[in-house]
A and B are shown apart, each in its own frame.
Chain A
Amino acid sequence: EAGVVQSPRYKIIEKKQPVAFWCNPISGHNTLYWYLQNLGQGPELLIRYENEEAVDDSQLPKDRFSAERLKGVDSTLKIQPAELGDSAVYLCASSERAGSPLHFGNGTRLTVT
């Protein structure tokens, strides 16, 4: 089966500019996650979707971050405006059901200059 696909792989932008990341989960996986991973740290959850519903977005900085999963399949994570501290790797993952392992994409490395 095809894995979780993320794009772009790398992104370099200037501060205050907008940026968007895209994720296509594994077919049939209803749960989709966006994680933030800072250098040398473990991933931290930003938002979790069950189908098209965001069931946990408590860690998402809503003043500048937004996400959507309109048809319950692929998802977009947006930052506007980006800040220097947003430089990190953004990981997308999906899972089939509760308790199932998460399958991760290759992530997007964002550099804000």
Chain B
Amino acid sequence: AQTVTQSQPEMSVQEAETVTLSCTYDTSESDYYLFWYKQPPSRQMILVIRQEAYKQQNATENRFSVNFQKAAKSFSLKISDSQLGDAAMYFCAYRGLYNNNDMRFGAGTRLTVKP
């Protein structure tokens, strides 16, 4: 079964600085998708960024970018120019393409942004 591990329960960053959240996963599949979701206190899970495993180029969405290392099964999220509104729980998620279409989540990292 696929598992997703986030080893940082909490992270803190100064406003305008850069922070990196770590994520590793375990799978025997070759094709899959990886996601980062943000969950503010409102509870709604908001998609931050998505990476297709067959793409070597790292995905980027404005201030958010990923470092995808397929061989190492690592998928970290970098937030540049951190803003107060970035404070939230961040979840890394894996979704298989064929055999298992379910999305599996890590335990999450709570990000605090200091003014």
Contact residues in A for B42 (Cβ distance below 8 Å): 106
The residue among A33, A41, A42, A56 with the most chain B CB atoms within 10 A of its own CB is: A42
Q: Which residues of B contact A107 (CB under 8 A)?
A: 43-44
- Are A105 and B44 also in contact (CB < 8 A) when A42-B91, A43-B105, A45-B102 are? yes
- In the complex, what distance in Å separates the CA atom of A48 from the CA atom of B33? 18
Does A99 touch B at the CB level, under 8 Å? yes
Chain A interface size band reads: 20 to 34
Question: What's the Cα separation between A30 and B72 when bound, in Å?
Answer: 34
Tell me whether B35 is interfacial, beta carbon within 8 Å.
yes
- What's the dominant secondary structure at chain B's contact region? strand
Query: Is A106's CB under 8 angstroms from B43's CB?
Result: yes
Residues on A with beta carbons closer than 8 Å to the beta carbon of B97: 98-99
Indicate whether B19 reaches chain A with its CB closer than 8 angstroms: no
With the chains together, A39 CA to B103 CA distance in Å?
Answer: 19
Per-position contact with B for A24-47: 1 when CB-CB < 8 Å, else 0? 000000010100000011111100
Annotate B1-39 by CB proximity to A: 1 below 8 A, 0 otherwise: 000100000000000000000000000000001010100
A-B contact pairs, 13 of them (CB 8 A): A33-B103, A41-B108, A42-B93, A42-B106, A43-B91, A43-B105, A45-B104, A48-B101, A102-B45, A104-B46, A107-B43, A107-B44, A109-B43
For the complex with contacts A33-B103, A45-B103, 11 further pairs of A-B residues with Cβ separation under 8 Å are: A31-B101, A40-B107, A42-B105, A48-B101, A56-B102, A98-B98, A99-B97, A101-B50, A102-B103, A104-B37, A104-B44
Residues of A within 8 A of B (CB): 31, 33, 40-45, 48, 56, 89, 91, 93, 98-99, 101-107, 109
